[in-house]
Chains A and B, each alone.
Chain A
Amino acid sequence: MRKMLTIISNVLRGSASRNGARLVVSARTYADFTPQASFDIKNCDVHKLEEGPPLQAVLTREEGLQYYRTMQTIRRMELKADQLYKQKIIRGFCHLYDGQEACAVGIEAGIKRSDHLITAYRAHGYTYTRGGTVREIMAELTGRRGGIAKGKGGSMHMYTKHFYGGNGIVGAQVPLGAGVALACKYLGKNELCVCLYGDGAANQGQIFETYNMASLWKLPCIFICENNQYGMGTSVERAAASTDYYKRGDFIPGLRVDGMDVLCVREATKFAAEHCKSGKGPILMELLTYRYHGHSMSDPGVSYRTREEIQEVRSKSDPITLLKDRMLSNNMVSVEELKEIDVEVRKEIEDAAQFATTDPEPPLEELCNHIFYNEPPMKVRGISPWIKLKSVS
């Protein structure tokens, strides 16, 4: 019976795709696919904690599809940005996130949309998981008026609700995030703030000042160090006296997590969120991850690491492949279904790129806008004394 249904569905799917219609695969859902499965996940090293997150994670089919789609979207969006940068349509700084998708997606899965998040400049993935659309992200990269920041910010300065960027100064986002957490506590909202930083930023003094105050005042923040092994061109061993980033909060409990496994990240985030919201104060997570691209588009990424290393990570630990293999081997999804998602994602990215390259740049009349908030219109001095430009809030 099952086999027959499968055959019928395959036929239906085949004909539907030829017609260009999208066949909903629910015909197969209840009959063929495993609705959910439990997976073993890696143990987390802990610091000043009695126990870590659970060693097993339950993944439902819906969740799996959503994580897959989101990670694939981020992956393709970043690769498209790479392309556009090489065509000089994106300028300046462009720090790509491909390889690290499991972090952004896993974290978002472990918190609520009403929680808060702040990160540094490798932010496109987070802008997406926090509610930005691919269209407005790409249009911001190309500096157009349809960009998420109206073309005024670029790659490193994207904001959405409860997402505070996108920050260009290494380490600065960490005290900012603790400040957001202070506001959460002050306003009694039972929300938390996720403060992300990299292995390079982990040596910044202001981060230690923040650890101190966050701990002293029991601020609800989750400090997350995305350790992708390299701070620009400097490997972790050459930058840090201690590479146990999860321990560097000292009095702050910490855990080290496999950042290539979206389920591991999710479970650890849930664990951390609980810790925070129970009033115990901050907690630190180190995510072991990897970036395929160099530090930014100006860095080929091979002068300080070998191509073999990059290739090895890609073949053995790619986060999207990991999830895909898990789902396929547990019959949670079919190859065709995933391919379909890939096609849809590709289309979404293409459309967004099309928009991002054709949308006009912001109008010159708006050059001086948004200096102040809630301010009556004012004049701004232009390039020469005879030019007075208009500025509205």
Chain B
Amino acid sequence: MHNSLDPRQRTQSNMAYLRSILRSGKNAVPAVLRREFHRTLQAAMQVTVRDAIKEAMDEELERDERVFLLGEEVALFEGAYKVTRGLWKKYGDKRIIDTPIAEIGFTGIAVGAAMAGLRPVVEYMSFNFSMQSVDHIINSAAKTYYMSGGLQPVSIVFRGPNGAAPGVAAQHAQCFAAWYGHVPGLKVVSPWSAEDAKGLLKSAIRDDNPVVFLENEIMYGVPFEMSEESQSKDFLIPIGKAKIERKGNHVTLVSHSHVVSRCMDAAAVLAKDGIECEVINLRTIRPMDMEAIETSVLKTKHLITVEGGWPQFGVGGEILARIMEGPGFGYLNAPAVRVTGVDIPMPYAKLLEENTLPQIKDIVFSVKKMLNV
């Protein structure tokens, strides 16, 4: 590792290396690589989604005095999932606020602060806990600009892990994309990659409207290559634009969040059989980029939406309805279908849990069924 250092420095540095492995668990390699690359910079680098989110918040906190963070364990504990590590040390009590376990209370306080001109970023330890505060997100934040006839804007971001996480069982594994996606006055973002996370969170914080930012715990530790461009402090990804992660001609797979990984894996498997999937990463749930989906369907003539959430009244349901109502319908060679989580509360046992969420084999099966191969 650091052979140029003297023995004491080398020991210290190796201890730090060891600590970083222990701390980051199975994602030790990217963490260590980052420490190395930190000095050379400028080239594309590997960044975990967690670090990308933190970088976004760090840069926006620095850029605008009015931005501040609040949530449970975000300061001293450095974040329940360590997303906010280092921020409290850098910015202090005023800007990184630990709250008591009082979701409806602190969400209301955050929305009030936004009404008075600050730009809060509220962290939910999990979006499942946001159900306590949903009244404030919708009635106090989303609807206010409209109800006031344009007098009272609310610039606020609600962020945290959403959807499935391994072994957390029913009360901690629900996907809220469809719930929040239902509401006019809200923007709902669901990033997949590290670049997504960084660029979209920066855009969300700079947006003058309420934004629900749905992260995913499974993705936190996953490293992605971040282009040089994305390392800039002004790197923004526009809210409302999807991204084609993989080009293909035979079928369009539309997905968001961690399930995009599954789609990419399934696409690799199908490619061996000569089936080329076009994988669209939605990036934003509301406003949804139907144009990107329609353009793709025009080419592939086949559409499958893939999500982790429940089927009834879900994101896939909305996409299919819009395809029916729009030009996309005319292009389809087969009815569009949805691949979703099973319509049950999330079970705990590993075998059951695995069979509740779309796996690679499920996506492959659905594609082949649709294409009749």
Q: Known contacts A186-B118, A212-B105, A216-B100; decide if A176 and B148 are in contact (CB<8 Å).
A: no
Q: Which residues of A have CB within 8 Å of B112?
A: 118, 164, 175-183
B100 to A179, Cβ gap below 8 A? Answer: no
B113 to A180, Cβ gap below 8 A? Answer: yes
Q: Which residues of A have CB within 8 Å of B150?
A: 150, 369-370, 373, 393
In the complex, identify which listed stretch (B134-142, B252-260, B307-315, B340-348) lies at the interface while the others stay far away. Answer: B134-142
B13 within 8 A of A: no
Q: Which residues of A have CB within 8 Å of B187?
A: 372
A184 to B139, Cβ gap below 8 A? Answer: no
Q: Mark A125-153, 1 if CB is under 8 A from B, else 0.
A: 00000000000000000000001111111
In angstroms, how far is the closest chain B Cβ from the Cβ of A137? 13
In angstroms, how far is the closest chain A Cβ from the Cβ of B211? 10
Q: Name B's A-contacting residues (CB within 8 A).
A: 68, 94, 97, 99-100, 102, 104-118, 135-136, 139-140, 145-153, 155, 184-185, 187, 208-209, 287, 325-326
In the assembled complex, the Cα of A388 lies from the Cα of B88 at a distance in Å of 46
Q: Known contacts A164-B152, A210-B105; decide if A172 and B140 are in contact (CB<8 Å).
A: yes
In the assembled complex, the Cα of A373 lies from the Cα of B113 at a distance in Å of 17
User: 5 more A-B contacts (CB under 8 A) besides A180-B116, A371-B146?
Assistant: A149-B147, A181-B112, A186-B118, A370-B148, A374-B208
A209 to B111, Cβ gap below 8 A? Answer: no
In angstroms, how far is the closest chain A Cβ from the Cβ of B1? 44
A179 to B108, Cβ gap below 8 A? Answer: yes
A206 within 8 A of B: yes
B105 to A175, Cβ gap below 8 A? Answer: yes
Q: Name A's B-contacting residues (CB within 8 A).
A: 116, 118, 147-153, 157, 159-160, 164-165, 167-169, 172, 174-184, 186-187, 193, 205-206, 209-210, 212-213, 216-217, 369-375, 378, 380, 385, 393
In angstroms, how far is the closest chain A Cβ from the Cβ of B88? 15
Q: Known contacts A369-B150, A372-B209, A373-B153; decide if A172 and B108 are in contact (CB<8 Å).
A: yes
| CB < 8 Å neighbour of A175 from B107, B147, B149 | B107
A179 to B114, Cβ gap below 8 A? Answer: yes
Q: Which residues of B have CB within 8 Å of A152?
A: 146-149
In angstroms, how far is the closest chain A Cβ from the Cβ of B133? 9
In angstroms, how far is the closest chain B Cβ from the Cβ of A191? 9
In the assembled complex, the Cα of A177 lies from the Cα of B112 at a distance in Å of 6
Q: Which residues of A have CB within 8 Å of B151?
A: 148-149, 159-160
Q: Which residue of B lies closest to A216 (CB)?
A: B100
- Give the residue among B94, B105, B107 with the most A Cβ atoms within 10 A: B105
Q: Which residues of B have CB within 8 Å of A369?
A: 150
A372 to B145, Cβ gap below 8 A? Answer: yes
In angstroms, how far is the closest chain B Cβ from the Cβ of A325? 39
Q: Which residue of B lies closest to A152 (CB)?
A: B149
Q: Which residues of A have CB within 8 Å of B145?
A: 370-373
Q: Which residues of A have CB within 8 Å of B110?
A: 179
Q: Which residue of B lies closest to A157 (CB)?
A: B147
Sorted from nearest, which 8 A-B pairs have the closest CB atoms? A179-B112, A175-B108, A209-B105, A150-B149, A183-B116, A176-B112, A373-B153, A385-B325
Q: Which residues of A have CB within 8 Å of B184?
A: 371, 380
In the assembled complex, the Cα of A150 lies from the Cα of B152 at a distance in Å of 13
* A-B CB contact pairs (8 Å), 29 listed: A147-B149, A149-B147, A149-B151, A152-B147, A152-B149, A153-B149, A169-B140, A175-B106, A175-B108, A175-B109, A176-B136, A179-B109, A179-B111, A179-B113, A180-B113, A182-B116, A183-B117, A183-B118, A193-B116, A369-B150, A370-B146, A370-B150, A372-B209, A373-B150, A373-B209, A378-B287, A385-B325, A385-B326, A393-B150
Q: Which residues of B have CB within 8 Å of A181?
A: 112
In the assembled complex, the Cα of A206 lies from the Cα of B107 at a distance in Å of 10
A186 to B113, Cβ gap below 8 A? Answer: yes
Q: Which residue of B lies closest to A149 (CB)?
A: B149
In the assembled complex, the Cα of A168 lies from the Cα of B153 at a distance in Å of 17
Q: Which residue of B lies closest to A179 (CB)?
A: B112
Q: Which residue of B lies closest to A366 (CB)?
A: B149
| CB < 8 Å neighbour of A206 from B100, B105, B147, B208 | B105
Q: Which residues of B have CB within 8 Å of A212?
A: 100, 102, 105
Q: Which residues of A have CB within 8 Å of B209?
A: 372-375
Q: Which residues of B have CB within 8 Å of A186?
A: 68, 94, 113, 118
Q: Which residue of B lies closest to A140 (CB)?
A: B149
Q: Which residues of A have CB within 8 Å of B113?
A: 179-180, 182-183, 186
Q: Which residue of A lies closest to B70 (CB)?
A: A182
